[in-house]
Structure 1
């Protein structure tokens, strides 16, 4: 129960900060677009395209994380471009008031992006926790007479199993983090597996 309470209150705080920051950041972007010749629906909708890109990219990354797959490069690049665009627009809005004005103007965009990514992290963590609990409930406890696998053998077995399943194989980063092994070691294990056997 405490974990659920912590997650709920954190999510509420993050959403509240994000909502306030989104309104201010939108206003800054709208005024910037309007002052550079756009009016009417165009001026009102352009700021939404920036935050919409951040939202869409984050959702794709979140989906990949929940499926235990590497995030697509396009999603990573889109997220980075969206962040640069929203921060840049806010900095440009306050630049006429000097460096301090630019920093103050940029803060809502930074708070929005930070809050949004915190919410995504919280969602990913909750999903992983639920997955572990489900596996614990559905998987009968194995007898303890078996010899425990080494982390290297566990990496090898899990990677082989992922090759047989649907979708792409599990990523090296995921295997390294899950089994507590250096990523270079994981790469070496996978490379040795993929080498053809000598004739």
Structure 2
């Protein structure tokens, strides 16, 4: 798991392939940003779209009063159909009108007024939900002692040539008698 806190404020680095192919390699990325505009500034419009499109879970809240990100995420939440009505009174009669209208699930102003500690969670394949997340201090997490990286956490990576890999595979999984071996581009009949 790779937490990228303040990703939007760091200088751009070649992270796009991690987002595009990381999940298939069992890599979990958690980008944490304050504004979608930060991503666009550092990674360009296309790069920012790649980053956001590859996020299966999105948690947001605590918007600034002038946040443009709230506008974008309001649209991403989608809309719902609600009943709207009006009543008008004339001199002699009153008329009532009811109709179904579409409105955002949450308007940008509603997103900006979410109480501190409350967030909206969007997950692929499910409906969005509003939740409360406790501050890490409420879980007993402190920063008293620095985190120690285990001794063998970072290991040197060794690369093998194609011939070494092929040889190791044939040693581990020998060909059965009577099969054709196309090893190294030469067809050989096994005896």
TM over 0.5: no
Structure that is richer in helix per residue:
1
TM-score band by shorter chain is: under 0.3
What TM-score results when the alignment is normalised by the length of structure 2? Answer: 0.19
Structure that is richer in strand per residue:
2
| Higher RCO (C-alpha under 8 Å, 6+ residues apart) | 1
**Higher gyration radius (CA):** 2
